[in-house]
């Protein structure tokens, strides 16, 4: 005799009930936890921006952010101004750090829409840094980060992160040995044109002594993630270069 669980009607009924149960559990959890997750994400953005500025709890090797209970206060202290650049228009917006870069990139592609470009002015030890959020593609998924520079587009600090790069290889873009190499590199070439920073396999400069070659050392086994970082820096910072040229001329 055919078993009860082999019947088509039972199979369909089972599938429907299972999907309903699983779907409602997940929907309920996602909605219930969303406010908490959103707060965590906002704090993380503030931590990342401060990290690029050099405000962090790092010791010699580790990556350590300002703790979450202090970060909002420190953010207000160090980030003196948040700007949004849109075309020729520059305005002050205290929620600029919440602008969704992914959405801006997408809508800039499909219409004549002028992209909103957030820019944060941070002051640490009396030095002004301009911090810019960037976003691009790694090997498997999104990568993003924040680049802090002075008005000559010389990098003063970076922070990179990723959604799903290979652990032990591409995932190491958020480690100190990689990020610290960028400090002091110039985004402009010696003639003053925008050049970006390449992730080079033949740099032969592991501690990055040469700061004017527009190159840092690649991570072994993470070629595509590294290329993604270089492409992200090039395309995402280029759109800001006219702002910096104006800044220098004024």
Partner 1 sequence: MGFFKDSNLITDPLADNNPITIQVLGICSALAITAELEASIVMSVAVLFVLGVGNVVISLMRNIIPSKIRIIVQLIVVATLVIIVDLVLKAFAYELSKTLSVFVGLIITNCIIMGRFEAFALANGPWKSFLDGIGNSLGYAVILVIVGFFRELLGSGTLLGNPVLGDPIEKTGVYAYGYENNGFMLLAPMALITVGLIIWVQRSRNTALIED
Regarding 90 and contact with partner 1 (CB under 8 A), the answer is no
Candidate segments 9-17, 90-98, 106-114, 237-245, binder of partner 1 by CB under 8 A: 9-17
Per-residue interface string for the shown chain with partner 1, residues 206-225, x marking contact by CB under 8 A: xx------------xx----
CA 141 – CA 120 distance, rounded (Å): 26
Closest CA to 85 of 53, 115, 117, 60: 117
Binding to partner 1 by residue 24, rule CB under 8 A? no
- Alpha helices per DSSP H over the chain: 8-53, 68-78, 101-110, 176-179, 223-249
Least distance in angstroms from the C-beta of 165 to partner 1: 7
- 33 makes contact with partner 1 (CB under 8 A): yes
Q: Find the binder of partner 1 among 163, 212, 238, 246 (CB under 8 A).
A: 163
Q: How far apart are CA 49 and CA 184, in angstroms?
A: 18
Is 204 a binding residue for partner 1 by CB under 8 A? The answer is no
Q: Return the number of the residue (10 or 113) whose C-beta is nearest partner 1.
A: 10
> Minimum distance from CB of 149 to partner 1 (Å)?
26
Residue placing its CB nearer to partner 1 in the complex, 40 or 246 = 40
Alpha-carbon distance 178 to 245, whole Å?
28
Q: What is the nearest approach in angstroms of partner 1 to the Cβ of residue 232?
A: 18
Residues 53-72 that bind partner 1 (CB under 8 A): 61, 68
The three-point CA angle 233-239-243 to 5° equals 115
Q: Which of 15, 16, 90, 92 binds partner 1 (CB under 8 A)?
A: 15
The smaller minimum CB distance to partner 1, of residues 110 and 207, is found at 207
Q: What phi and psi values does residue 132 have, to the nearest 5 degrees? A: -125, 130
Pairing state between β 198-200 and 215-217: parallel
Q: Taking CB under 8 A as the rule, does residue 88 contact partner 1?
A: no
**Under a CB-based contact definition with an 8 Å cutoff, are residues 88 and 121 in contact?**
no
Tell me whether strands 198-200 and 155-162 are parallel, antiparallel or unpaired.
unpaired
Residues contacting 94, CB < 8 A, separation 6+: 82
Residues that bind partner 1 (CB under 8 A): 5-6, 10-11, 14-15, 18-19, 22, 25-26, 29-30, 33, 36-37, 40, 44, 61, 68, 161-169, 171, 206-207, 220-221
């Amino acid at each position: 005799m055919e078993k009860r669980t082999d019947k088509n009607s039972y199979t369909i009924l089972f599938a429907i009930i299972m999907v309903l149960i699983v779907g409602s559990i997940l929907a309920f959890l996602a909605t219930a936890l969303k406010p908490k997750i959103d707060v965590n994400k906002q704090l993380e953005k503030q931590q990342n921006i401060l990290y690029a500025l050099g405000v962090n709890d790092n010791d010699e090797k580790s990556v350590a952010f300002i703790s979450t209970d202090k970060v909002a206060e420190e953010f207000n202290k160090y980030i003196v101004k948040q700007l949004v650049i849109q075309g020729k228009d520059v305005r002050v917006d205290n929620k600029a750090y919440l602008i969704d870069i992914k959405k801006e990139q997408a809508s800039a592609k499909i219409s004549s829409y002028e992209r909103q470009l957030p820019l944060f002015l941070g002051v640490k030890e009396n030095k002004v840094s301009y911090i810019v959020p960037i976003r691009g593609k790694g090997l498997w998924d999104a990568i993003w980060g924040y680049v802090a520079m002075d008005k000559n587009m010389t990098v003063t600090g970076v922070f990179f992160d990723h959604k799903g790069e290979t652990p032990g290889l591409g995932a190491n873009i958020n480690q100190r040995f990689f990020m610290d190499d960028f400090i002091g590199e110039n985004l402009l070439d010696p003639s003053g044109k925008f050049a970006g920073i390449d992730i080079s396999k033949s740099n032969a400069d592991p501690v990055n002594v040469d700061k004017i070659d527009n190159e840092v050392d690649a991570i072994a086994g993470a070629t595509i993630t590294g290329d993604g970082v270089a492409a992200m820096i090039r395309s995402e910072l280029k759109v800001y270069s006219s702002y910096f040229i104006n800044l220098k001329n004024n």
